[in-house]
Structure 1
Amino acid sequence: MKYGAIEAGGTKFVCAVSNENLEIIERVSIPTTTPDETMKSVFEFFDKYNLEAIGIGSFGPIDVNRKSKTYGYITTTPKLAWANYNFVGIIKDRYNIPIGWTTDVNAAALGELKKGAAFGLQSCVYLTVGTGIGGGAVINGQLLEGYGHPEMGHILVRMHNNDKYEGACPYHSNCLEGIASGPAIEERWGKKAYELEENKEVWKIEAFYLAQAVMTYTLILSPERIVLGGGVMKQRQLFPLIRKEVEQLMKKYVAMPNLDEYIVPPALGDNSAIMGCLLLAQKTNENV
């Protein structure tokens, strides 16, 4: 028994095939170009295998509402070649097997819950902080989806008193993604995040924004763990700063877990989403 997984990112597609124990047999990275070019390579990879199911975690926004006529579509993405693309339909036409479908960050949350930093728990939030900011959640063992899916990177936050940056988000200017993503850091400070490692002011301001996000997710969803991943979070000095800011923001209003155990990096590293996609494929196959 073999499962397929597609982590569809804006820069690259990671495809993998596993056995029934979710041990990866083969994986490949494919540049995200046009749908025709990218999917040609995806099909060439999967055509070699007899798969039971495929799990897809895609960049978005996507349509996850099963009652919608455009369920399975990438919808209003700024990657115009992929806008209104019938992703699930194209895969289904090719293979006619069960297809699991969610966001890349929901898949990462599932991966960390079942195999990573939130193992043994029933709920977690996963936030990726990199080229953009996106978040997914598993609550009571279920992916958080409804009419749509979470867009945790676009919550509004209070500006830091020392920050005059106007924001990079084309939709909301100074939402969380607009002021705390990698491009926002680079535009504000004139250097990429990894070149600013020794500049304490950079990370104090970044932690101020990310802590507000953690507070918001905590108050609304009450997850048992919050996992912070992505390129920016490879600056590990951020974690103690964020925990300190969260403690100050909360002011003991609600009981909190030990923050060292509550706000953590991903245990699966860069493999959170691809593992989540394999888990989604397995779960979808079992529910048929």
Structure 2
Amino acid sequence: MRIGAIEAGGTKFVCGVGNEHGVIEDRVSFPTEKPEITMANVVGYFKDKQVEAIGVGTFGPINIDKSSPQYGFVTTTPKPGWGNFDFLGALKAHFDVPYGWDTDVNAAAYGEAVWGAAKGLDSCVYYTIGTGVGVGVYSEGKLVHGLVHPEGGHILTRRHPEDTYDGFCPYHGDCLEGVAAGPAIEKRWGVKAVELPPEHKAWEMEAFYIAQAVAGSILLLSPRKIILGGGVMHQLQLFPLIYAEVKRALNGYVQAAEILHNIEDYIVSPGLGDNAGLCGSLALGLDALTNSRK
């Protein structure tokens, strides 16, 4: 099979072609610009690939209600030019194939459930912590959508006692994304996150915020695996700090060996690495093709 995959991020688009085994055979990336420029690049990439279906995992919020006239639209994103953009419509004008459609983080969660760190498990929560913060939820063998879809990057957080930064989210100020995403680190400390040394107190503060969200997911969803991805999580010194903060936040309330004794195997990096989103989009496309043949 030849399945197209699109990981549409706020900073860059990654497009690829893969097979039913989750193997990405070809890929390309380019910056996320205005829709007309970006989508022209997407169409140009796929025009000679002869894919049988295309899966899309995109930044959001998005409309995933198939009964809605706006199904396939990006909705209230602050990304300039992309608000109320008919993403799927722009693709369907060029390619008459089945489409999978979901958020980029739900796609990543799905990729990890099918081929990655949560393979064989019936649930996982995937966080991407980078330019923004997103959360994908896979529960009892399926992706969670609900009223719209999870937007866990915008949950409210308890403030770190030493944090005086107001937060940068244009909607909520000091929500999780507003205080823990890469731009928040840069604005708070005056340099990019990658320039901060591992021992800098910024990482203790970052772990405090991430751990609050993780503890909340454990209490609310009880997932069998929590996966932390995105550019900020390339700072591996964060993991032991997060482990300690999660245990402190839960304070022994959740009596599970995975948390009390083996937390390093419970809260993990993506098994698919930076391919989680693209592989998840591939899985979405594969599902769309399979469903179209029923």
Give the alignment's TM-score, normalised by structure 1.
0.96
Distance 1:114 1:20, change over 3 A: closer
- Unpaired runs of at least 5, structure 1: none
- Letter of the structure 1 residue corresponding to residue 59 of structure 2: F
Secondary structure at the residue paired with 2:187? helix
Deviations 1:230-288 (A, max 9, x none): 11111111101111111111111122322111111112111100000011111111112
Secondary structure at the residue paired with 1:174? coil
Offset of 1:39 from its aligned partner?
1.4
Offset of 1:80 from its aligned partner?
2.6
Q: How does 1:180-195 map to 2 (within 5 A)?
A: 180-195=180-195
Kept after mapping to 2: 8 A contact 1:64/1:147: no
- Distance in 1, matches of 2:202 and 2:25, equals 41
- Distance in 1, matches of 2:198 and 2:217, equals 29
- Distance in 2, matches of 1:34 and 1:186, equals 25
- Unpaired runs of at least 5, structure 2: none
Q: Which residue of 2 aligns with 1:210?
A: 210
Q: Which residue of 1 aligns with 2:5?
A: 5
Kept after mapping to 1: 8 A contact 2:74/2:84: yes
Offset of 1:49 from its aligned partner?
2.2
Q: CA RMSD in A?
A: 1.2
Kept after mapping to 2: 8 A contact 1:72/1:86: yes
- Distance in 2, matches of 1:255 and 1:119, equals 24
- Distance in 1, matches of 2:284 and 2:176, equals 28
Deviations 1:23-66 (A, max 9, x none): 22211112211222211121121111222111000111111122
Secondary structure at the residue paired with 2:173? coil
Q: Which residue of 1 aligns with 2:287?
A: 283
Offset of 1:192 from its aligned partner?
1.2
Q: Which residue of 2 aligns with 1:255?
A: 255
Is 1:88 paired with 2:88? Answer: yes
Secondary structure at the residue paired with 2:158? coil
What is the aligned residue count? 288
Deviates more, 1:51-60 or 1:188-197: 188-197
Give the alignment's TM-score, normalised by structure 2.
0.94
Q: Which residue of 2 aligns with 1:170?
A: 170
Kept after mapping to 1: 8 A contact 2:4/2:53: yes
- Distance in 2, matches of 1:254 and 1:20, equals 38
- Letter of the structure 1 residue corresponding to residue 158 of structure 2: R
Offset of 1:103 from its aligned partner?
0.4
- Distance in 1, matches of 2:68 and 2:255, equals 39
Q: How does 1:218-233 map to 2 (within 5 A)?
A: 218-233=218-233
Q: How does 1:1-288 map to 2 (within 5 A)?
A: 1-256=1-256, 257=258, 258-288=262-292
Offset of 1:199 from its aligned partner?
3.5
Offset of 1:157 from its aligned partner?
1.0
Kept after mapping to 2: 8 A contact 1:144/1:150: yes
Q: After TM superposition, which residue ranges in structure 1, 4 or more long, deviate above 6 angstroms? A: none
- Distance in 2, matches of 1:20 and 1:118, equals 18
Offset of 1:137 from its aligned partner?
1.2
Offset of 1:148 from its aligned partner?
0.5
- Distance in 2, matches of 1:133 and 1:101, equals 19
Offset of 1:73 from its aligned partner?
0.2
Offset of 1:91 from its aligned partner?
1.4
Deviates more, 1:27-36 or 1:273-282: 27-36
